[in-house]
Structure 1
Amino acid sequence: MPEPYIRTAVPGDEEALGLLDRAVWSYLHAVGPPHRPPYEPFFNERSGPRDHLVAELDGRVVGYVRLGFPTPLASNAHVRQIQGLAVADEARGRGVGRALLRAAVAEARRRGALRITLRVLGHNTPARTLYESEGFVVEGIQPQEFLLDGAYVDDVLMGRRV
C-alpha cells in the first residue's frame, strides 16, 4: 500500500478541497451546520493555500490539515493551531490522518513554533486517540460547549511541544 504524499496546497486545489470538506462533514467533528449552496470558497483571506497541507494517494487529494495561529496576538505567535483536519472516507485506515498530523507538527516547527494546539469534540474518539498517540495531551475541557444534533458536546483542548 503506497504512503500518502504530503505537500503544501496550491490555489488549484481549492475545488478538490472544497468537495472533500463537504463530503466528510459530520457532527462528529463539525460545530457548524452542513454546507449548503452557494458554497463559500475553501480558501479565504484568513486561511490560504500556504496554511494547508494536502495528502494525495494515487495522485488524488484525499486529505488536508489547516495550520494557523490561535489568536492574532504577538504574545502567542510561538504557538500554531491545527484548525481543521479531514480525510476522505475511502482513504481512512491508510495512514493519511497520521501523516498529515506529523507533517503539521514538522511544519509548525519549521515556522518557529514551540507549541502546537488543537480543539477536538469530546465524542470524537477516533481523532482523540490519534492525537494522543502522536503526543498531544488534554490541556482543558469546556464541558457541554456545543449543542450538536440535540446533544451537548464537550470541547477538548489538546496540545504538545514541537
Structure 2
Amino acid sequence: MEWRLRQAGPGDAPALSLVAAATFLETFAGIISGPDMVHHCTTNSSPAKFDGWIADMSCVATLAEHPDGAAPIGYTLLVPPDLPVETDARDIELRRIYALSLTRGTGLGRQLMARAIDDARAMGKRRMLLGVLGINIHARAFYERQGFTLAGTRRFRVGGAIYNDVIYARTL
C-alpha cells in the first residue's frame, strides 16, 4: 500500500485532531480510563492545539492519508523538546507518532519515522528525543529497531493517573 505522507498546513488541524484522538483511543483503551482519555484528547489534541503547532515554525506536523479518499490514518509531530533530560538547540522531540491499527504491518510506521527524521535533519537538528509509556513494549521495540536508546525516564499525568514513561534518544 502506498500511503500518502505530507506536511500538514492550514486547514489540516481537524484531520490531525481526529486521527490523534482515534489512535490514542486505540492505543490506550483498557490502560487509561475513558473519562481521562476523553479529557486528554479534547485538551491536548484539539484542532486549536494542532493549529498552533502548524503555525509554529519550530514544529512540523506530518499527516498520513489513505490513498483511497485521503482519510487521515496517522501522523507525526515534531516540537522543541519538553522532556526531563538535558537538551540544547540541536535537539527535537518527536512528540507524537501514531497510526491507525488498520495500517499495522504495512510499513507506515517506518515511513512516518523516516519522514520525521528527514524533517528534523532539514531543520538542522542533530538528535531526536521521544517519550513512550514504559509498558508499551511494542512501541519500545519499534523505537529500538529505529536506533533509539534509553536516555531517561519521566512521570506523565493523564487525568487522575500518573504513568511511567521512558525517554529515548537517537542521533540524526
SS in 2 for 1:100: helix
Please name the residue that 2:8 is paired with. Answer: 9
1:43 to 22, 41, 50: 50
1:62 and 2:86 correspond: no
Partners of 2:23 and 2:14 lie apart in 1 by: 14
- Percentage of pairs with the same residue: 31
1:82 to 88, 94, 98: 94
Per mean C-alpha deviation after superposition, the further-off stretch among 114-123 and 133-142 is 133-142
Per-residue deviation, 1:86:
1.5
- CA distance in 2 between partners of 1:105 and 1:38 (Å): 28
Find the aligned partners of 1:131 and 1:138 in 2 and give their Cα distance.
10
Residues 36, 160 of structure 2: 8 Å contact kept:
no
Taking a change above 3 Å as real, the CA distance of residues 78 and 35 of structure 1, as seen in their structure-2 partners, is same
Task: Note if contact 1:119-1:155 (Cα within 8 Å) is conserved in structure 2.
Answer: yes
Distance 1:57 1:65 in 2: 15
Provide the aligned length of Structure 1 versus Structure 2: 155
RMSD over aligned Cα, in angstroms? 3.0
Deviates more, 1:122-131 or 1:3-12: 3-12
Distance in 1 (alpha carbons) for counterparts of 2:11 and 2:157: 35
Note if 1:20 corresponds to 2:30. no
Output one character per residue of 1:21-78: Cα deviation in whole Å (capped at 9) or x when no partner. 1212243797x92235977324143x1266201112213321100001115xxx7111
Matching residue of 2:120 = 108
1:140-159 map, 5 Å:
140-142=152-154, 145-146=155-156, 153-159=163-169
2:6 alignment partner, SS class: strand
Richer in helix (by share): 2
Letter in 1 for 2:110: R
* Structure 2: tracts of 5 or more residues without a match: none
TM-fit CA distance, 1:84? 1.0
Cα contact 1:63–1:85 (8 A) shared by 2: yes
Opposite residue 164 of structure 2, the aligned amino acid is D
Distance 1:147 1:78, change over 3 A: closer
Q: Would the alpha carbon gap of residues 150 and 123 (structure 1) be closer, same or farther in structure 2, given more than 3 Å must change? A: farther
TM-score (norm 2): 0.76
The answer as to whether partners of 1:123 and 1:153 remain within 8 angstroms in 2 is no
SS at match of 2:2: coil
